[in-house]
């Protein structure tokens, strides 16, 4: 595995021709302030187990994402629009985690200004394709997705991207403070 996590570019059909493609890139320290700002969103805070309240916490979180890549257990991406002027500020987050030869877990969130624009669906589709088809640390493993029961937006996104609802996991605090739906990708 390379020491540097490669970015993933969205290709193929997008929502509309005027919509910039997405770039899924590693998180950096420059993203600390947007991370803290996004984590102030009450809707996001309602669903996340971890909250980033300071730039120091955000930078430590970025370090943890990079350590996961180096260990081969995590690929975490900032979701940005790939414009001619370069990438924009992060619109959200998507990550793949897993160890060994088992299925991998995908998780994501979007900032308020990205919701309702298909950003999460497009990022999830790109990451699922990367896991299923491309050379990477999770290649060929079945993607699964979990979200808190009651998070209807995440449920709709998972279903729209071909992740079937396959079960409900009981709460297991503190990491999983409430029951969660388990979705499994349908791979060709």
CATH code, 49:
3.40.630.30
Q: Is 76 helix (H, G, I), strand (E, B) or coil?
A: strand
The pTM (predicted TM-score) of the whole model is 0.90
Residue with more model confidence, 3 or 171: 171
Q: Is the pLDDT of residue 1 over 50?
A: no
CA of 48: how far to CAs of 62, 67, 88, 147, 170, in Å? 16, 21, 23, 9, 16
Decide if 2 is inside a domain. no
Q: What single-letter DSSP state applies at residue 19?
A: S
> Would you call 37 exposed, middle or buried from its count of C-beta atoms within 10 A (0-12, 13-18, 19+)?
middle
Q: Give the separation between CA 93 and CA 75, rounded to whole angstroms.
A: 11
Decide if 172 is inside a domain. yes
- On average, the pLDDT of the chain sits at 89
Q: What is the mean pLDDT of residues 120-125?
A: 95
Residue with more model confidence, 81 or 84: 81
Decide if 170 is inside a domain. yes
Q: pLDDT value at position 137?
A: 82
Residue with more model confidence, 103 or 183: 183
Q: How many structural domains does the chain have?
A: 1
Q: Is the pLDDT of residue 30 over 60?
A: yes
Q: pLDDT value at position 17?
A: 62
Decide if 39 is inside a domain. yes
């Amino acid at each position: 595995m390379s020491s540097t996590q490669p970015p993933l570019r969205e290709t193929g059909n997008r929502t509309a021709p005027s919509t910039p493609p997405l770039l899924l890139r590693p998180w950096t320290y420059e993203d600390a302030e947007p991370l803290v700002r996004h984590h102030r969103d009450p809707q996001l805070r309602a669903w996340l187990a971890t909250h980033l309240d300071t730039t120091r916490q955000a930078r430590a979180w970025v370090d943890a994402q990079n350590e996961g890549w180096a260990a081969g257990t995590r690929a975490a991406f900032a979701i940005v629009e790939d414009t001619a002027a370069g990438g924009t500020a992060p619109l959200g987050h998507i990550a793949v985690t897993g160890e060994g030869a088992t299925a991998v877990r995908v998780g994501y969130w979007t900032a308020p200004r990205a919701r309702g624009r298909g950003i999460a669906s497009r990022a999830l589709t790109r990451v699922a394709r990367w896991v299923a088809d491309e050379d990477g640390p999770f290649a060929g493993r079945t993607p699964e997705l979990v979200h808190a029961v009651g998070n209807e937006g995440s449920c709709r996104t998972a279903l729209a991207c071909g992740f079937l609802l396959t079960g409900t996991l009981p709460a297991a605090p503190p990491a999983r403070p409430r029951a969660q739906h388990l979705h499994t990708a349908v791979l060709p």
